[in-house]
Chain A
Amino acid sequence: MSAGSTAEYKMKSPKVAIIDYEMCNLFSVNHACLKEGLTPIITRDPKEILAADAVVLPGVGAFGDAMKNLERYELVDVIEDASRNKPFMGICLGLQLLFGSSSEFGEHPGLGIVEGNVEKFPTVVEGRGIKVPHIGWNRVSFDPEEPIFDGIPNDSFFYFVHSYYVNPSDDSVVLTSTDYEGVNYCSAVKNDNMMAFQFHPEKSGVLGLKIYENWKRMIQARV
């Protein structure tokens, strides 16, 4: 083996820490990573998280309980660190938690990594009733120049399951937008190394897997 073998291995299959704070949804994220040639580890050990090449914050469940678990497992600072210093992907609740606060089942403070808040979909829009949660496949609009969407046609369908949506204070963090029954909202955010999706790439068939493939390439470019 050459002296560069560790680096070569990293290039081949970057290690991705999937944060396990008992809010489920780990199985499909894990397998989407495997499918696209990443090396996932499911962990809540801060050392392992900070040693990985990239970090995923998944999440399905209630905002307040999720924050409680993050605090209980002392993951708040680790996530903040990882979100600023590593390729970082939030998914669904993992997007919402990055924000300041949410009103789900009472007012709860979030991680405050992205400025803005989390709001519940109205059940009436322009006098018409709309179904909440927003469940199903919906179109996602983005700037086709974004590397994470390489090879994915603009306005493609991705799978959503949520009752709350994020409302960033700063428009420059908006990565994608989606229209649900007349509510046009931010369905993904990004900054230098962090991106977070309201939809589930790991549940969005072939195009969702493409996001993991593109992300792997972006991680490799940094390793």
Chain B
Amino acid sequence: MHQRVIAKLDIKGPNLVKGINLEGLRVLGKPEEFSRDYYEQGIDELIYMDVVASLYGRNSIHDLISRTAKNIFIPLTVGGGLRSLDDIREVLRAGADKVSLNTAAVKDPNFIKEAARYFGSSTIVVTIEAIKQPDGSYEVFVDNGREETGVEVLSWAKQVAELGAGEIVIMSVDQEGTGAGYDIELTRAVASLVDIPVIAAGGAGNSAHVADVLTDGQADAAAIASVFHYGHIHKVEGMGHLDQEGNVEFLKRKRSHGKIEPSSVVELKEHLVERGIHCRI
């Protein structure tokens, strides 16, 4: 099977944002401009995560989904604050292909079953936010890593698959935004446990991290944020188009990206192929 490279865009209102450990959000620019660049370079899929889903934000993300899907003919998964079958239906109508459930699914696991039954398993992705505990186990968190649930990650992952979800995004909140690499151990534990595809998220700082999670981590796909976003910003910067809204201040100050080594989609896929990984190129 060909493994997938997915760009994950965290959305706040009309903006692409990026945070560290899901906090301290920084505005990077317009999501549809980043998406367009990734699409033209051959990204396999896109994920839009509404990180501050609210009633106001809901309409805003519907518009963004539509603007994106009008021009970009690859799969788009949308998540963040989806609580009912109607919420899901609206997002799909706006142009999303799949939805990602999290908080509402933890609160009412039956929601996964109902959603899978109505929209088909392959439309329903469940994101699991995991935080490693002192005893080495992983606990499920919700609400962008802010609220603990007392649920253990592996038992939840198994249940999610049994309830009919089509895919699992396993996200390490500890690694998210750090650029220190994916939590390989966590990803492998989930990927070897369930027989639905598993997407690794949280921690990619360079191409090698992605290759590692697709091999050692046994992930079916890898979600990548900062590596691509900063890669895109550098490209735009190089072209002298620095006037986009939002990121100007941050760019002018030339703040370092910590451990992030920016890469284009093409460069990253070339690295994967060099490492013997099958991907669409």
Chain A positions near chain B (C-beta within 8 angstroms): 24-28, 31-32, 35, 60-62, 65, 93, 105, 123, 129-133, 135-138, 157, 159, 161-163, 180-181, 200, 202-206, 208-209
Contact = CB atoms under 8 A, between A and B. Distances in A.
A130 B93 CA distance: 31
B157 to A, nearest CB: 14
A56 to B, nearest CB: 15
Interface in B42-76: 42, 44, 66, 69-71, 73-75
B133 to A, nearest CB: 28
B117 A131 contact: no
Given A136-B3, A161-B75, 9 more contacts: A27-B92, A35-B73, A61-B118, A61-B123, A123-B195, A136-B44, A157-B2, A204-B74, A205-B74
Interface residues of B, number: 37
A159 B94 contact: no
Given A60-B119, A203-B74, A131 B92 contact: no
B120 A136 contact: no
Given A24-B93, A27-B66, A138-B2, A133 B121 contact: yes
B89 A202 contact: no
A131 B166 contact: no
B221 interface: yes
Q: Which of A32, A60, A204, A209 has the most CB of B within 10 A?
A: A60
Given A132-B196, A137-B280, A203-B75, A181 B122 contact: no
Contacts of A181: 1
B167 interface: yes
A159 to B, nearest CB: 6
B73 A32 contact: yes
Contacts of B123: 24, 60-61, 161
A97 B97 CA distance: 19
Contacts of A132: 195-196
B4 interface: yes
9 contacts: A27-B92, A27-B94, A28-B97, A60-B119, A93-B120, A130-B195, A133-B121, A136-B197, A159-B74
Nearest to A59: B120
Given A27-B69, A131-B196, A137 B95 contact: no
Nearest to A124: B195
A62 B4 contact: no
A27 to B, nearest CB: 4
B95 A27 contact: yes
Q: Which of A136, A159, A181 has the most CB of B within 10 A?
A: A136
B89 A24 contact: yes
A7 B58 CA distance: 44
A130 B197 CA distance: 9
B127 to A, nearest CB: 15
A160 to B, nearest CB: 9
Closest 3 CB pairs of A and B: A27-B95, A61-B120, A161-B122
Contacts of A137: 2, 4, 44, 280
A123 B162 CA distance: 13
Interface in B181-197: 195-197
A105 B95 contact: no
Contact of A163 (B74, B93, B117, B122): B122
Nearest to A133: B122
Contacts of B119: 24, 60-62
Contacts of A61: 118-120, 123
Nearest to B165: A133
